[in-house]
Amino acid sequence: MKKILFVLVGLILTLQQTWSVEPHAADVSAKLSPELLELLRAEMREISVGVQGIAPAVATADWLSIQSTSEKIRASYILKQKLTPAQAAALGQALPSQFKQLDVDFHRRAGLVAAAAAAHNAELVIFHYSRMLENCTACHSAFAKSRFPQFSPSSENAHHH
């Protein structure tokens, strides 16, 4: 269990070094109505609570909690929640395709975390969980720079691959 905890802590620290999907991506909040922005932020808050709960559940092999939480995250698509048809259309037009793809990938990974937890496979849970976090990082660094200004590296500190 200590090994798993060290891997998770290392992963989280590593993810602080971020990368951007689209170097000049626009902040999506500027394109959304206040109502849509609040719905998006509400979903992000719920996802954040879930994502933060997975790491300690992995460290204690709480497979049911990991599976349940991951399934809730997988099913939390904002495009399917609390939106009128007009809002869904506006959201679909406002969000860049890369944002939508990151969202799809994130929710797909959450489903893979749930499946790995059902199989009691800690290594696979950690792998897919880390990919989920990479999706969060990529999306926030590309599309929410005003909300997360620390993702805007200075030119002297920029990390290149």
DSSP assignment of 40-54, as one string? HHHHHHHHHHHHHHH
Q: What is the pLDDT of residue 1?
A: 56
Domain ranges of the chain: 30-149
Residue 16 has a pLDDT of: 38
**What local confidence, expressed as pLDDT, does residue 78 receive?**
59
Res 22: pLDDT:
43
Q: Regarding the domain delimited by 30-149, which CATH topology (the fold level of the hierarchy) does it fall under? A: Four Helix Bundle (Hemerythrin (Met), subunit A) (1.20.120)
Contact 54, 4 (CB under 8 A): no
pLDDT value, residue 17: 38
Q: List, in sequence order, the alpha helices (H) in the chain.
A: 2-14, 34-59, 63-74, 85-94, 97-118, 122-143
d(CA 99, CA 31): 13
Residues 37/146, Cβ–Cβ less than 8 Å: no
User: Can you give the pLDDT at residue 69?
Assistant: 96
Q: What is the pLDDT of residues 115-142, one digit of tens each?
A: 999 999 999 999 999 999 999 999 999 9
pLDDT of residue 63: 98
Instruction: Identify the CA nearest to 139 among candidates 26, 9, 51.
Output: 26
pLDDT at 84: 83
DSSP secondary structure, 119-142, as one string: TT-HHHHHHHHHHHHHHHHHHHHH
What was the pLDDT predicted at 126?
Answer: 97
The answer, as to whether pTM is greater than 0.85, is: no
Residue 42: the pLDDT is 86
Give yes or no for a contact between 142 and 103, defined as CB atoms under 8 angstroms apart.
no
What was the pLDDT predicted at 4? 54
What stretches in the chain show pLDDT beneath 70?
1-26, 77-81, 153-161
